[in-house]
C-alpha cells in the first residue's frame, strides 16, 4: 500500500496481484460473443471503441479546418470543400461523439453497477441501440466518401431543402437512425434507474452520476423524437416538395428551426449533463468529501433538463422571431445559468477543506470546471439578445460552444475514462504521462479556442474558408493550439492501449472511492456482484468506507 | 485482457434457482421484469407522442395562418369513411383489450380469436384508408404531385362537395395553401397508417405464438405492451379524426 500522502492511489502488491480469472471480458471469447452480447459492460466497450473511431475522424476534419484557416486565402481546399469539411466535423462530433460519449460508454457500464443491478433493464434494446449507432455512423462515413454535405450540421432551411445539391438526404437519414440509438439509451437508463435499484438504494442515495444521467435521459427521450420528425419533414420537403418549409407555398422555413432547436438545444444538455455527473464523482473522490449540497446538485441536473426545453429560440434571435419572443427566451436562457452555477459552486465548496490530491482524473476535472465556467458565462452574453445580435455567426459562438463541448464535455469524458479505466480493464493507466497529457490538453485547448473569442469580438464570421488578413495572427495561434491539442488527445490513446497489457494491476478499489461499482472486483463479473448489494449508507460516505476497510483487515488478520 | 486467458474450469454460472423460463436473469423477480418492461413501453409511447407532436404543432400553426384554406380543404375529406374508420379502430381496440384479458385469464382460443379479429379490423382500416387516398389521387389533391387547386378557386367545378357546403371561391393566394392542409393530412394519417402496418405485422407474429400457447402460461407482458401500443395508435386517430375531418365541417 502506498504511504505517499500526495496520492490516494492504493494498489495491491504487484508481485502477488492477479487480474481475476473470471470477469466479463474473459467469460466468453470470440467475435460473436461480443457482437451478440447483452452485457451492458461489453456493449459499453463496443461503444467506447466505435466512439473513439468517430472521434478521430471528426478530429482529423477539425485539423483540416484549422490548417485551412492558417492563411487568410482559401488555399488548402476549395471553399465548397471547406463547407463540407466543417459540416462533417459538426455532424460527426455532435451526433456520433458528444451525444453518446459519456452516456453510452461510462453510463452504460456504471449505471447498473452504481445501482447494484446486474444489467440495464433492457439488454437487447441496449445492443440494438449500439447497432443503430453503428448504422448511423457508417451512413455518415458513406455520405462523406460519396461527396459529403455542406449545409452545416444544423441543416438550415431553405438552404438544405432548395439550394444545395449535396447528400442532405443520407445525412438526414443517418441522424434519424443515430437519434433512435440515443432514444433507446435514454429509455433504458430511465427504466433502469426507476426499477432496478438494489435494496436500500433510495433516490437520494444514488451517486450524482446517476442523477445527471437521469436528467440527460429525460432530454433524450423527449427531445430526440422531435428531431426525428423534423428530419423526416425535411426529407419530404426536399424530395417531394410538400411545402411545409417552403415560403413560396406558404410554408415557413423557421418552423424547421423551431423543431430542430427544440431538440438541438436540449441536446447540448444531453452532452454536458453526463459530463457533470462524472465531475461530481471525481471531485468527491479526490477531495475525500461528500459532495457539498448533494440534493441541490441532484436537483440542479433536473432543473437544467427542464429549463433546457424552454430556451431553444435563443438560437434564432437574428432569424426574425418577434421582440417579445426574444425577451422571454432571453430571460429563460439566463435562468439556465442558475442550476449550472449551483453545480460549479457546490463542487468548489466540496473542495474547501477537502484532502485534495491531483491524480489525472482530478486534473481533467479542474480543467472542466474552469473551461466550463468560461463557456457557460459567455453563454450568458449570447443569451442577452443585444450582444447576441452582434456576436452570433461569428467565431465568438464557435469559441463559446467549444469551451462547453470540448473544454467541458471532452475534459469530463477523459476524466471519466481515466477514473474508471482501472475498473473497466483491471489495470492502471500510467500516472505521470497521463498527468502530462491532461496539462497538454488544457494548454492546447486554451491556445486553440481563446483566440477565437477575440476573433469573434472583432467580427470574424464563422463558416468561411477565407478571412481578412488582419485576423491571421490570432488564427495562427488557434491552429498552433489545435496541434498541441491533437497531441493531447493522441497521448491517451497510446498509453491507455499500452496499459491494457503493461499497466499495474489495479485491484478492486484503487481510489478508495465509495461507489458500489468499486466494491466489487475489477474487471467486474458478468453479473457485476456475487450477491445483490444492500445500500445501507448515503452516497459518498467515506466513514462507511473506512469502517468497511477496518472490518476487512480484522477478518483477514 | 492478457491475464485472463485461462478460464477457471467449472466456475459456477450465476445460480439459476427456480424461476420461470421467461424470467430474464438480470431481474430479481418476475414482477420486477413485468414492471420494468411495462414502464419502458409507456416511455416509448411518450417518445411517440413527441414524434407526432411535431406534426400537430405544424398543423396548429398553419391552421391558424390559413384558416379559410384549411376549412375548404377539409370539406374534401369523406366523412362517411372517416367515421367508419373511427368505428373500426375503436372496435379493434376493444378486441385487443379482450385479447389482453384472455391472455391474463389463460384462454388460449379466446386470445387467438381476439388477435385475429384485431388483425382483420386493422386491415379493414387500412383498406378504407386506401379508398380515401385514391379519391385524393383522382382529384389531384396529393401535395407535390400535380397538385390542383381548381376545386378551391372554383368550388362549383366539384359539384358533389359544392352541393353540400356551398363553399365560396377562394383567391389563388389562399387556395394554394390547401396544399399544406393536404400535406399535413397525408403526413399525419400516413404516419398513423405506418404505425398500423407495423402493429399488424407484430399481430401476425403474435397470432402464431398465441396458437402455440406462448402467452397463456402466465407471461403476458408482451401482449399487454402490444395492447398499449395498439391503444396508443388508436388514440392518435381519435385526435386526427376531429382535427382533420370534423372541426371545420359546417356549411357556410
pLDDT of residue A2: 44
- Min Cα distance B113 → chain A (Å) is 30
We report the CATH number of the domain holding residue A129 as 1.20.210.10
Using a CB-CB distance cutoff of 8 angstroms, which residues of chain A are in contact with residue B25?
A: 118, 527
Task: Give yes or no for a cis peptide into A523 (omega within 30° of 0).
Answer: yes
A240–B53 CB contact, under 8 Å: no
pLDDT of residue B155: 86
pLDDT band, very low/low/confident/very high, at B218 (cuts 50, 70, 90): confident
Interface size A-B, in CB pairs within 8 Å, comes to 142
Sign (positive or negative) of CA dihedral A455, A461, A462, A464: negative
Q: Quote the CATH superfamily of domain B50-246.
A: Cytochrome c oxidase, subunit III, four-helix bundle (1.20.120.80)
Write out residues 203-262 of A within 8 Å (CB-CB) of B: 221-226, 228-230, 233, 236, 240-244, 249-252, 255, 258-259
Residue A7: Cβ within 10 Å count: 14
Identify the bridge partners of residue A461 per DSSP, sorted by sequence position.
Answer: A394
Tens of pLDDT, residue by residue, chain A (557 residues): 444 567 888 888 888 888 999 999 998 889 999 999 999 999 999 999 999 999 999 999 999 999 999 999 999 999 999 999 999 999 999 999 999 999 999 999 999 999 999 999 999 999 999 999 999 999 999 999 999 999 999 999 889 988 888 899 999 999 999 999 999 999 999 999 999 999 999 999 999 999 999 999 999 999 999 999 999 999 999 998 888 898 888 899 999 999 999 999 999 999 999 999 999 999 999 999 999 999 999 999 999 999 999 999 999 999 889 999 999 999 999 999 999 999 999 999 999 999 999 999 999 999 999 999 999 999 999 999 889 999 999 999 999 999 999 999 999 999 999 999 999 999 999 999 999 999 999 999 999 999 999 999 999 999 999 999 999 999 999 999 999 999 999 999 999 999 999 999 999 999 999 999 999 998 999 999 999 999 999 999 999 988 888 887 655 44
A187–B3 CB contact, under 8 Å: no
Residue A12: Cβ within 10 Å count: 16
Q: Across all residues in chain B, what is the average pLDDT? A: 88
Using a CB-CB distance cutoff of 8 angstroms, which residues of chain B are in contact with residue A119?
A: 26
Which residue from B minimizes the CA distance to A249? B177
- Min Cα distance A231 → chain B (Å) is 11
- Min Cα distance A341 → chain B (Å) is 30
Residue A13 inside a domain? The answer is no
Average pLDDT on B103-127 reads: 96
- Cα–Cα–Cα angle for B63, B59, B183, rounded to 5 degrees: 100
Question: What does the block give as the cell for A402?
Answer: 467549444
Residue A14 inside a domain? The answer is no
Which residue from B minimizes the CA distance to A23? B4
The domain tally of chain A equals 1
B3 touches chain A (CB under 8 A): yes
Owning domain of residue A168:
31-556
B176–A249 CB contact, under 8 Å: yes
How high is the ipTM of this complex?
Answer: 0.91
- How far apart (Å, rounded) are the C-alpha atoms in residues A91 and B82? 42
What are the E-state strand segments in B117-239? Answer: none
pTM for this entry: 0.93
HEC-encoded secondary structure of A301-331: HHHHHHHHCCCHHHHHCCCCCCHHHHHHHHH
Residue A66 inside a domain? The answer is yes
Residue A482 inside a domain? The answer is yes
Residue A124 inside a domain? The answer is yes
Q: How far is CA A368 from CA A188, A409, A438, A515, in A?
A: 27, 7, 11, 22
Residues 6+ apart with CB under 8 A from A44: A104, A105, A106, A108, A109, A424
Residue A318 inside a domain? The answer is yes
When CB atoms are compared, the residue of B8, B26, B176 closest to A250 is: B176
- Whether residue B145 is predicted with pLDDT greater than 70 in this model: the reply is yes
- Whether residue B133 is predicted with pLDDT greater than 90 in this model: the reply is yes
With contact defined as beta carbons under 8 Å apart, do A116 and A129 qualify?
Answer: no
Using a CB-CB distance cutoff of 8 angstroms, which residues of chain B are in contact with residue A195?
A: 32, 35-36, 39
Residue A18 inside a domain? The answer is no
When CB atoms are compared, the residue of B6, B144, B176 closest to A241 is: B144
A52-85 per-residue burial string, b: 16 or more CB within 10 A, e: under 16: bebbebbbebbbbbbbbbebeebebbeeeebbbb
When CB atoms are compared, the residue of A118, A183, A251 closest to B47 is: A183
Average pLDDT on B48-65 reads: 94
Residue A1 inside a domain? The answer is no
Amino acid at each position: 500500500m502506498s504511504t505517499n500522502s500526495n496520492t490516494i492511489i492504493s494498489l495491491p502488491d504487484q508481485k502477488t496481484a492477479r487480474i481475476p480469472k473470471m470477469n466479463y471480458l474473459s467469460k466468453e471469447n470470440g467475435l460473436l460473443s461480443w457482437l451478440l452480447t447483452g452485457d451492458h459492460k461489453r456493449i459499453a466497450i463496443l461503444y467506447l471503441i466505435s466512439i473513439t473511431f468517430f472521434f478521430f475522424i471528426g478530429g482529423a476534419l477539425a485539423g483540416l479546418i484549422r490548417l485551412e484557416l492558417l492563411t487568410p486565402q482559401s488555399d488548402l481546399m476549395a471553399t465548397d470543400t471547406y463547407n463540407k469539411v466543417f459540416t462533417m466535423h459538426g455532424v460527426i462530433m455532435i451526433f456520433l461523439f458528444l451525444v453518446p460519449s459519456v452516456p453510452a460508454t461510462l453510463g452504460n457500464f456504471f449505471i447498473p453497477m452504481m445501482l447494484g443491478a446486474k444489467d440495464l433493464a433492457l439488454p437487447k434494446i441496449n445492443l440494438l441501440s449500439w447497432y443503430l449507432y453503428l448504422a448511423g455512423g457508417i451512413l455518415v462515413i458513406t455520405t462523406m466518401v460519396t461527396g459529403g454535405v455542406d449545409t452545416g450540421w444544423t441543416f438550415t432551411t431553405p438552404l438544405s431543402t432548395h439550394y444545395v445539391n449535396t447528400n442532405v438526404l443520407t445525412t438526414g437519414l443517418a441522424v434519424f437512425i443515430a437519434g433512435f440509438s440515443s432514444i433507446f439509451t435514454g429509455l433504458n437508463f430511465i427504466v433502469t434507474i426507476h426499477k432496478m435499484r438494489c435494496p436500500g438504494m433510495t433516490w437520494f442515495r444514488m451517486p450524482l452520476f446517476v442523477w445527471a444521467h437521469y436528467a440527460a435521459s429525460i432530454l433524450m427521450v423527449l427531445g430526440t423524437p422531435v428531431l426525428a420528425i423534423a428530419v423526416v419533414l425535411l426529407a419530404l420537403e426536399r424530395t417531394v416538395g410538400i411545402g411545409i418549409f417552403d415560403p413560396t407555398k406558404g410554408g415557413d422555413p423557421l418552423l424547421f428551426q423551431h423543431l430542430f432547436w427544440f431538440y438541438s438545444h436540449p441536446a447540448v444538455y444531453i452532452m454536458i449533463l453526463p459530463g457533470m455527473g462524472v465531475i461530481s464523482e471525481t471531485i468527491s473522490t479526490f477531495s475525500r468529501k461528500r459532495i457539498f449540497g448533494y440534493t441541490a446538485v441532484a436537483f440542479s441536473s433536473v432543473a437544467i433538463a427542464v429549463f433546457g426545453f424552454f430556451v431553444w429560440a435563443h438560437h434564432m434571435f437574428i432569424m426574425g422571431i418577434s421582440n417579445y419572443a426574444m425577451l422571454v427566451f432571453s430571460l429563460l436562457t439566463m435562468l439556465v445559468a442558475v442550476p449550472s452555477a449551483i453545480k460549479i459552486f457546490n463542487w468548489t465548496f466540496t473542495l474547501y477543506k477537502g484532502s485534495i490530491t491531483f491524480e489525472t482524473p482530478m486534473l481533467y476535472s479542474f480543467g472542466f470546471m474552469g473551461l466550463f465556467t468560461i463557456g457557460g458565462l459567455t453563454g450568458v452574453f449570447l443569451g442577452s439578445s443585444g450582444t447576441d445580435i452582434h456576436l452570433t455567426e461569428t467565431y465568438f459562438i464557435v469559441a463559446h460552444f467549444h469551451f462547453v463541448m470540448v473544454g467541458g464535455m471532452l475534459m469530463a469524458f477523459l476524466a471519466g475514462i481515466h477514473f474508471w479505466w482501472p475498473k473497466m480493464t483491471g489495470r492502471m493507466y500510467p500516472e505521470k504521462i497521463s498527468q502530462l497529457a491532461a496539462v497538454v490538453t488544457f494548454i492546447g485547448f486554451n491556445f486553440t479556442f481563446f483566440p477565437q473569442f477575440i476573433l469573434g469580438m472583432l467580427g470574424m464570421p464563422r463558416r468561411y474558408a477565407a478571412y481578412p488578413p488582419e485576423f491571421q495572427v490570432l488564427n495562427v495561434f488557434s491552429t498552433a493550439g489545435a496541434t498541441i491539442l491533437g497531441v493531447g488527445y493522441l497521448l491517451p490513446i497510446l498509453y491507455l492501449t499500452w496499459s491494457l497489457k503493461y499497466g499495474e494491476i489495479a485491484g478492486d478499489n484503487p481510489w478508495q472511492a465509495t461507489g458500489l461499482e468499486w466494491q466489487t472486483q475489477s474487471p467486474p463479473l458478468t453479473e457485476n456482484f456475487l450477491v445483490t448489494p444492500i445500500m445501507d449508507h448515503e452516497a459518498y460516505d467515506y466513514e462507511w468506507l473506512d469502517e468497511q476497510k477496518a472490518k476487512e483487515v480484522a477478518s483477514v488478520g | 485482457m492478457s491475464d485472463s486467458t485461462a478460464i477457471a474450469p467449472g466456475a459456477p454460472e450465476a445460480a439459476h434457482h427456480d424461476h420461470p423460463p421467461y424470467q430474464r436473469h438480470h431481474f430479481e423477480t418476475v414482477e420486477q421484469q413485468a414492471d420494468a418492461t411495462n414502464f419502458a413501453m409507456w416511455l416509448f409511447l411518450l417518445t411517440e407522442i413527441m414524434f407526432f407532436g411535431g406534426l400537430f404543432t405544424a398543423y396548429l400553426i398553419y391552421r391558424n395562418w390559413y384558416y379559410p384554406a384549411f376549412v375548404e380543404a377539409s370539406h374534401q375529406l369523406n366523412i362517411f369513411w372517416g367515421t367508419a374508420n373511427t368505428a373500426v379502430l375503436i372496435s379493434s381496440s376493444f378486441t385487443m383489450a379482450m385479447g389482453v384479458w384472455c391472455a391474463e385469464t389463460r384462454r388460449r382460443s379466446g386470445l387467438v380469436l381476439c388477435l385475429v379479429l384485431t388483425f382483420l379490423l386493422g386491415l379493414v382500416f387500412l383498406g378504407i384508408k386506401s379508398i380515401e387516398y385514391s379519391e385524393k389521387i383522382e382529384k389531384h389533391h396529393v401535395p407535390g404531385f400535380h397538385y390542383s387547386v381548381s376545386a378551391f378557386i372554383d368550388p362549383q367545378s366539384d359539384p358533389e362537395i359544392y352541393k353540400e357546403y356551398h363553399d365560396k371561391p377562394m383567391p389563388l393566394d389562399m387556395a394554394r395553401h390547401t396544399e399544406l392542409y393536404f400535406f399535413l393530412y397525408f403526413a399525419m394519417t400516413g404516419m398513423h397508417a405506418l404505425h398500423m402496418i407495423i402493429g399488424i405485422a407484430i399481430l401476425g407474429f403474435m397470432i402464431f405464438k398465441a396458437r402455440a400457447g406462448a402467452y397463456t402460461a402466465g407471461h403476458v407482458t408482451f401482449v399487454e405492451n402490444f395492447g398499449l401500443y395498439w391503444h396508443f395508435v388508436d388514440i392518435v386517430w381519435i385526435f386526427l379524426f376531429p382535427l382533420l375531418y370534423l372541426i371545420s365541417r359546417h356549411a357556410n
